[in-house]
Chain A
Amino acid sequence: MIELTNLTKKYQTDKGVLTAVDDVSLSIEKGEIFGIIGYSGAGKSTLIRLLNGLEKPTAGSVEIQDQKISAIRGKQLRQARQKVSMIFQHFNLLWSRTVKENIEFPLEIAGVPKSARSTRALELIELVGLAGRENAYPSQLSGGQKQRVGIARALANDPEVLLCDEATSALDPQTTDSILDLLVSINERLGLTIVLITHEMHVIRKICHRVAVMEAGKVVELGDVLTIFQSPREPITKRFVAQVTEAQGAEETVRRLREAYPAGELVRLGFIGEQTEEPVLTELIRNHPVDVNIIQGNISRTHGGAYGTLILQLKGPDSEIRSAISFLENRQVQTEVISGA
């Protein structure tokens, strides 16, 4: 559906050439919710703007449904943009227009007749849950409601792809969740392909099927969300995963635990998918003469399934601890000894 090939974007700045997007190749399937995560300055904003031609690549190409977005211009590009719509962090509504008029704006651009515009706008207002507010001005709406207008506006011309530029970053956690739920329901009901960029791992966990991690213009890790959460490879990915799995910073937590539980061995277990329901702990305790102390644990739900982490303190003779750990490893539970006794 979306094909990025060796995509590169360089900017000429006062300090020299800045490579915002550096040789990125990836493909996004139809109907997928694809997340791109990175810290600010990683190049994700530029990348998403290359997808609808708001930016032109320095090298490489962007292809959406066999149309080379990076090569077309003028009328062709304007028409393509009606099928690749976008929502924004700061909503970018026209303050001079009511909710309904804002949603009609892209329809006016597409040349839809007045009565059809009105019908379509009311339909979309219903879809995003804003019935009754059609004549309100943006200044009379909350952030979440403004984003709902943004989404309705983006859907007006029946796009194939929805680009979300930090769409929930200006919203509080509760509102973020309700907007994410709306995006999932749109994805499922309309079969829309969604590409979103964010710096919040929570967003990725909650709705994305696959994720690409960006750092310094490059995609450093890419994969299934559940897999990435379970076994992040790159340090930056680990930091993002820690955002949602551990309340405090990972190292801080480990140090504190080590101080609080100086005896024995601390082990972090990672569970994924079905394993979260298997009685691994019961077997461990039955078969191994070690004391098991549960220190910390959580289970997180991602779009593709659940995964959990559990931190255990194992106490007993060294040899028994070794054999307990090798038992865990054999059960294909991701096992990590945090610190030696």
Chain B
Amino acid sequence: MLENFLPNVDWQDMWAATLETIYMTAMATFFTFVIGLILGIVLFLTQPHQAWANSVVNWLTGALVNIFRSIPFIILIILLIPFTQFLIGTIRGPNAALPALIIGAAPFYARLVLIALKEIDKGVLEAARSMGATTWTVIRKVLLPESLPALVSGITVTAIALVGYTAMAGVIGAGGLGTLAFLDGFQRNRGDVTLTATVVILVIVFVIQYIGDFLTVRIDKR
């Protein structure tokens, strides 16, 4: 029955492309989470009156984050081609998309981490210091758990943005649903392929959103 409505869709290709998109999104989200978290914590702790107060490091990190956050993603991919070639050995395929995806998304997530950390009650940080906590203990036992709901909803937003980025990367050959929709759908004038790829992307986005919301509610004991 589906064949009548979507005559040009090759379900095997569609499935393979879906897996590629999921792979790119998952890998990129993971590394974005780690790098963004580190950058966000550095941004937070190097602020004045914080444990690592250092205006030079704070300014440099902030500048780095702002620059990479401001470059349009499609341009960032092109700018990073030599770097990707050096790192991955190729500029085609899902793995080749990862450096650009991570470098594009991590600064964005770092900002969200900073916002999340700033929301933590200053009194709680003072209490931890008054108990003789080291900075490392404060990070592990206060900063991260106390901001966890915001960190999770932040990575949810970032992961959804990454799904969009993978589609864009797909246009220049990263693979996945973006490549399928562009090469198979648009360039060969097969509207049903583009449409199906879009629906699959929407499903992926909704699933991510659902998981994110579920976790956020679950861990928030406020």
A297, B27: Cα distance in complex, Å: 78
A139 with B131: CB separation less than 8 A:
no
1/0 per residue A49-87: CB within 8 Å of B? 000101000000000000000000000011111100110
Take A81-B130, A86-B127 as given contacts and tell me if A109 and B137 are in contact as well, using a CB distance cutoff of 8 Å: yes
Q: Choose from A86, A105, A110, A139 the contact partner of B221 (Cβ within 8 Å).
A: A139
A82 with B132: CB separation less than 8 A:
yes
Take A92-B123, A92-B124, A139-B221 as given contacts and tell me if A97 and B145 are in contact as well, using a CB distance cutoff of 8 Å: yes
Judge whether A232 is part of the interface by a CB distance below 8 angstroms.
Answer: no
| Chain A positions 153-183 with a Cβ under 8 Å from a chain B Cβ | 153, 157
A260, B221: Cα distance in complex, Å: 58
B132 with A81: CB separation less than 8 A:
yes
In the complex, which residues of chain A have a beta carbon less than 8 angstroms from the beta carbon of B124? 92-94
A80, B126: Cα distance in complex, Å: 16
B146 with A95: CB separation less than 8 A:
yes
In the complex, which residues of chain A have a beta carbon less than 8 angstroms from the beta carbon of B126? 54, 88, 92
Take A94-B145, A137-B221, A139-B221 as given contacts and tell me if A86 and B132 are in contact as well, using a CB distance cutoff of 8 Å: no
A88 with B145: CB separation less than 8 A:
no
Take A92-B123, A96-B148, A97-B145 as given contacts and tell me if A105 and B131 are in contact as well, using a CB distance cutoff of 8 Å: yes
Size band of the interface chain B makes with A: 20 to 34
In the complex, which residues of chain B have a beta carbon less than 8 angstroms from the beta carbon of A95? 146, 221-222
Take A94-B145, A95-B222 as given contacts and tell me if A86 and B130 are in contact as well, using a CB distance cutoff of 8 Å: yes
In the complex, which residues of chain B have a beta carbon less than 8 angstroms from the beta carbon of A90? 121, 123
Judge whether B189 is part of the interface by a CB distance below 8 angstroms.
Answer: no
Judge whether B118 is part of the interface by a CB distance below 8 angstroms.
Answer: no
A94 with B123: CB separation less than 8 A:
no
Judge whether B133 is part of the interface by a CB distance below 8 angstroms.
Answer: yes
A82 with B131: CB separation less than 8 A:
yes
In the complex, which residues of chain B have a beta carbon less than 8 angstroms from the beta carbon of A105? 128, 131, 141
B134 with A78: CB separation less than 8 A:
yes
Q: Choose from B123, B131, B133, B222 the contact partner of A85 (Cβ within 8 Å).
A: B131
Q: Choose from B127, B132, B133, B142 the contact partner of A88 (Cβ within 8 Å).
A: B127
**Number of A interface residues in the complex (CB < 8 A):** 28
B130 vs chain A, min Cβ distance (A): 4
Q: Choose from B130, B142, B145, B221 the contact partner of A54 (Cβ within 8 Å).
A: B130
Count chain B CB atoms within 10 A of each CB in A80, A91, A96 and give the residue with the most.
Answer: A96
Closest residue of chain B to A140, judged by CB? Answer: B221
In the complex, which residues of chain A have a beta carbon less than 8 angstroms from the beta carbon of B141? 94, 105, 108
B123 with A96: CB separation less than 8 A:
no
A96 with B145: CB separation less than 8 A:
yes
Closest residue of chain B to A90, judged by CB? Answer: B123
Judge whether A106 is part of the interface by a CB distance below 8 angstroms.
Answer: yes
| Chain B positions 134-183 with a Cβ under 8 Å from a chain A Cβ | 134, 137, 141-142, 145-146, 148
In the complex, which residues of chain B have a beta carbon less than 8 angstroms from the beta carbon of A80? 132
A109 with B145: CB separation less than 8 A:
no
In the complex, which residues of chain A have a beta carbon less than 8 angstroms from the beta carbon of B146? 94-96
A88 with B123: CB separation less than 8 A:
yes
In the complex, which residues of chain A have a beta carbon less than 8 angstroms from the beta carbon of B128? 105, 109
| Chain B positions 112-126 with a Cβ under 8 Å from a chain A Cβ | 121, 123-124, 126
A94, B123: Cα distance in complex, Å: 10
A78 with B132: CB separation less than 8 A:
yes
Take A109-B137, A137-B221, A139-B222 as given contacts and tell me if A94 and B142 are in contact as well, using a CB distance cutoff of 8 Å: yes
A49 vs chain B, min Cβ distance (A): 9
In the complex, which residues of chain B have a beta carbon less than 8 angstroms from the beta carbon of A79? 132
22 interchain pairs (CB within 8 A)?
Answer: A54-B126, A54-B129, A54-B130, A78-B134, A86-B130, A92-B121, A92-B126, A92-B127, A93-B127, A94-B124, A94-B142, A94-B145, A95-B146, A95-B221, A105-B128, A106-B132, A109-B128, A109-B131, A110-B132, A137-B221, A139-B221, A139-B222
Question: Which residue numbers of A lie inside 8 Å of B, CB to CB?
Answer: 52, 54, 77-82, 85-86, 88, 90-97, 105-106, 108-110, 137, 139, 153, 157
Question: Which residue numbers of B lie inside 8 Å of A, CB to CB?
Answer: 121, 123-124, 126-134, 137, 141-142, 145-146, 148, 219, 221-222
- Further contacts, 15 of them, CB under 8 A, given A82-B132, A106-B131, A109-B131: A54-B129, A54-B130, A78-B132, A79-B132, A81-B129, A86-B130, A90-B123, A92-B121, A93-B127, A95-B222, A96-B145, A108-B137, A109-B132, A109-B134, A157-B131
